[in-house]
Structure formats: C-alpha cells, structure tokens
Amino acid sequence: MKITVITGSPRRRGNSFAMTDAFVKEAERLGHTVRRFDAALMKIGGCRACQTCFKTGKACSFDDDFNLIAPAIMEAGAVVFSMPTYWYSIPAQIKGVIDRLFSFVVGGKDIAGKKCGLIACCEEGDVTVMDGIRMPLERSAALLRWEMAGEVLVPGVLNEGDIDNTDGCKQAAELAHKF
Ligand SMILES: Cc1cc2nc3c(=O)[nH]c(=O)nc-3n(C[C@H](O)[C@H](O)[C@H](O)COP(=O)(O)O)c2cc1C
C-alpha cells in the first residue's frame, strides 16, 4: 500500500517525529511505500475559500507546497497525520493541509475509500487533551469516507526525548500493522 504521512511539528527531534519515524520504519519493513511530508518545514498557507480548486490544473490555485502533498494524498491508499497538541487543537502548520483537503471536495475528486491514521502527543497527562485533534480528524475522515484504521495518542510528553519514557514509539510501530 502507498501510505502518505503528514507531520505537523517543527521539532525535528521532537516526540511526534520520533513516533513518525517508528511508524515509517515499521511500515516500510512491512512492504508499504511511504511518502512523508513535514508540513511545518514546508511553505503551506491556509485555505482562501476561493473555490477554484483544480481549475488551474493543480489542487490549489494558490500555488504553495500543499500542491506537492495533494497528488500524494490522491494516489495513496492511506493517509497518516502526526502532530503535537497546540492549545488543545491541531497546530497551524498542519491545519493548512487539513483545511485544504477541501480542494478535493470542491474539485469533485473521488478520494473515498482510503484508510486514515492519527499519531498525536501532548504535555498534559490526560488523553482527552487530544480530543481537539482526534474529533476533527475522525469527522473529517468520515466526511471523506476514509476509514479510521488506528490512533496513537500519547499524553505526558513535553520536551524532546520525553517520548522515550513512554511506549509511544512502540504504539506507532504497531499502528503500521493496521494498514
Ligand atoms: C504552541 C504550543 C502549544 C501547546 N499546547 C499544549 C496544550 O494545549 N496541551 C498540552 O498538553 N501540551 C501543549 N503543548 C506541548 C506539546 O504538545 C508537547 O511539548 C509535545 O510533546 C510536542 O510535540 P513535538 O515534540 O512533536 O513537537 C504545546 C506546545 C506548544 C509549542
């Protein structure tokens, strides 16, 4: 299966990147082809709601790095989002990608039937802190008719390396077995 992974942290040595690395390594070991995009290290703005999606040949008429990710979403059998929690919600750096999934709806592209995964972490010790990530992801997947294959939600990690004191990377590797 082709799996497109989209991350949302700006920290290359951070907790969600460590889990993403573990997921990608295991997915590739299982024979999947993974394409990874680190949204926070790319140039990706928000949706302008112009509704001219795909009219210029590209997904978005405002041509930034989202247009590199869009074809990889279209051709993938699964899409995995990986991010930290920012203010009980989705970090701006990856929210632009999620908002611009709208382009597939406006452009009339049939992207139904994909599997979807979520990897997330937060500082506080309560898994419900990630509700503000989990719920919009689940509802967006339902709208797009994607199947939520699995979620890894790891509370209690703040600084780089904290993830090593949890089983987060093990859980992320196990997520790869759901695709
Ligand atoms: C701007 C910002 C907002 C944050 N908001 C929250 C929050 O609302 N709740 C929480 O538990 N942790 C919050 N955190 C902590 C991060 O979720 C935590 O440090 C996480 O491990 C970072 O993941 P990363 O290493 O992959 O970047 C916030 C961190 C930043 C930088």
169 contacts 23 by C-beta, under 8 angstroms: no
Nearest residue (by CA) to ligand 1, atom 7, is: 87
Q: Of all residues in the chain, what percent carry a pLDDT higher than 90?
A: 99
Give the integer Cα–Cα distance in Å for 116 and 167. 21
Domain boundaries, the chain: 2-178
**pLDDT score, position 129:** 98
Ligand 1: lining residues by beta carbon, under 6 Å: 9, 11, 14-17, 84-88, 121-124, 129, 157-158, 160
127 contacts 135 by C-beta, under 8 angstroms: no
- Render pLDDT for 120-165 as a digit per residue (tens, 0 to 9): 999 999 999 999 999 999 999 999 999 999 999 999 999 999 999 9
CATH of domain 2-178: 3.40.50.360
Q: How far is the CA of 97 from the centre of ligand 1 (A)?
A: 19
Q: How far is the CA of 87 from the centre of ligand 1 (A)?
A: 7
**Position 9 confidence tier, pLDDT thresholds 50, 70, 90:** very high
Give the integer Cα–Cα distance in Å for 5 and 10. 15
- Render pLDDT for 23-74 as a digit per residue (tens, 0 to 9): 999 999 999 999 999 999 999 999 999 999 999 999 999 999 999 999 999 9
Q: How far is the CA of 85 from the centre of ligand 1 (A)?
A: 5
Looking from the CA of residue 11, the nearest atom of ligand 1 is 27
**pLDDT score, position 134:** 98
Would you say the pTM of this structure is higher than 0.85?
Answer: yes
Q: How far is the CA of 49 from the centre of ligand 1 (A)?
A: 28
